[in-house]
Amino acid sequence: MSKSLSIGDFEITTVQDHRGTDRDPSQIYPDVPGTAWDPYRGFALDPDGFYRSQWRGHLIRPSDGGPALLVDTGMGPGPHDHTGMPGELLASLSALGVEPEDIGIVVITHTHGDHIGWNVSYDGGTPRPTFPNARYIVARADWEHYSRQENSNEAFDRSVKPLEGLGVLELVEGVHEIRPGVSTLPTNGHTPGHQCILVKSGGQTGVVTGDLFHNVAQISEQDWCPIFDWDTTISTRSRRELLGRAEREGWTVFSGHLGIDKSIGKVVRSGEKPSWQPL
């Protein structure tokens, strides 16, 4: 279920949490007419016209023995309504030989519920960090936005807010070096503080893209925005900039929600529009 690729001195591995809900493109992309999907149906949609998202995190392991990083923590323990089954993130980590105490840094691309679910565990009503030796890196813009009363939601209140009182929260802005070779890269729009995680090592670049795009058709149609985007003008600009760089510079892209078989890829161009080449 996991897939690994090396970027110089780092190994980046997908960590499955759970199968996400099935998505109807007409509901998720209401501004995109059904016929506009036609060139992409064969690989962006299933035969029934829906697409399946996945919930996952990414493990970044440096070869120098430094602490492992976990990018995003999935939807959480569950059990989840659409399957009746629990999330699998901790079991997926364990299958990779990684226990919660081995994670030194948790970095969150953005604070939506399907990226923060395993941040905090509850013993009775008392929160504790699921990853007891980690500091948790969150974009300040997301923290400030979702801390406001009018934007508050249960997932944020349950899985991000307690990190402050537990003394493990680190708020960051702009390009922030997490450790040599790994940094945040602001790509806001999906949320006010959405950030990608950039890994540069040995002449190679990998990028974990969170929710910069949700469906593989957005690699070719970079101005298509799902209803989840907070500001579609800004999210479109961020998507174009990041995917343009990835295309020009040959970056390896680790997606947040694409199917397991095509979740890692490169942005390539053979015709007029860029497309996704799974690795």
Nearest CA among 92, 70, 191, 87 for reference residue 137: 70
Number of residues forming the site for Zn ion (CB under 5 A): 2
Q: Which is nearer to Zn ion, 114 or 229 (CB)?
A: 114
- Return the H-helix or E-strand segment holding 159: helix 154-159
Residues 196 to 215: which contact Zn ion by CB under 5 A? 211
Which of the ranges 15-23, 106-114, 144-152, 190-198 carries the binding residues for Zn ion, by CB under 5 A? Answer: 106-114
Residue 71 Cβ vs Zn ion, minimum distance, rounded to whole Å: 12
Residue 202 Cβ vs Zn ion, minimum distance, rounded to whole Å: 30
* 114 belongs to the binding site for Zn ion (CB under 5 A): yes
Which of the ranges 21-29, 56-64, 75-83, 108-116 carries the binding residues for Zn ion, by CB under 5 A? Answer: 108-116
* 142 belongs to the binding site for Zn ion (CB under 5 A): no
Q: Which residues contact 184 (CB under 8 A, 6 or more apart)?
A: 107, 137, 139, 172, 174, 175, 176, 178, 195, 196, 197, 198
Residues 49 to 68: which contact Zn ion by CB under 5 A? none
Which of the ranges 40-48, 100-108, 110-118, 135-143 carries the binding residues for Zn ion, by CB under 5 A? Answer: 110-118
First to last CA, the chain: 15
Residues that bind Zn ion (CB under 5 A): 114, 211
